A = this chain, B = another copy of it.
Amino acid sequence: MVTPNKILKSHKLRITDCRLDIIQEFLEKQVALAHSDLEDSLDKKFDRVTIYRTLNTFLENDIIHKVLDDSGATKYALCSHEDDHDHSHEHVHFKCDICGETTCLESISLPQIKLPKGFEKREMNLLVTGICDKCHQ
């Protein structure tokens, strides 16, 4: 089972309250989180700056990844920890126009796309916007 503690250990990062809490948030809420979301939910427990630094540390260690957002806000989500070997990240996310939540659509896989000549693909990110199941009427 995935725990905040295990994630930090497997990346050889020090175990601190802030790091544990932030990973916990990502594990609980199954949506992409922005810095401000974490600030709100952790309610002043940690400094704004510490949250920024923690997010950057997690980015560098591939614990989280940036999630595209059409509004310009920067959001993050946990990387799936099963496929550490397979480094071709493919992300399909759904952002609800009503509640604003962004969720990973794990079940959907991206079809292969043939790029024009001379283009070499590294990563694919698909963002679908619309209305999510919870907001649907």
- A residues contacting B by CB (< 8 A) are 66, 68-72, 74, 92, 94, 97, 105, 107-108, 111, 113-134, 136
Extra contacts besides A68-B70, A118-B133 (15): CB < 8 Å: A66-B71, A68-B69, A68-B125, A70-B123, A108-B115, A111-B111, A117-B133, A119-B128, A120-B131, A122-B130, A122-B131, A123-B128, A123-B129, A124-B126, A124-B129
Among A97, A125, A133, the one with the most B-chain Cβ atoms within 10 Å of its Cβ is A125
A interface SS class: loop
B107 adjacent to A119 (CB under 8 Å): no
A118/B136 in contact, CB under 8 A: yes
Shortest A134–chain B CB gap in Å is 8
Residue of B nearest to A130 (CB): B122
A-B contact pairs, 29 of them (CB 8 A): A66-B71, A68-B69, A68-B70, A68-B127, A97-B122, A105-B115, A105-B116, A108-B113, A108-B115, A108-B116, A111-B111, A113-B126, A115-B128, A116-B133, A118-B133, A118-B134, A119-B131, A119-B133, A119-B136, A120-B131, A121-B128, A121-B129, A121-B130, A122-B129, A122-B130, A124-B127, A124-B128, A126-B126, A126-B127
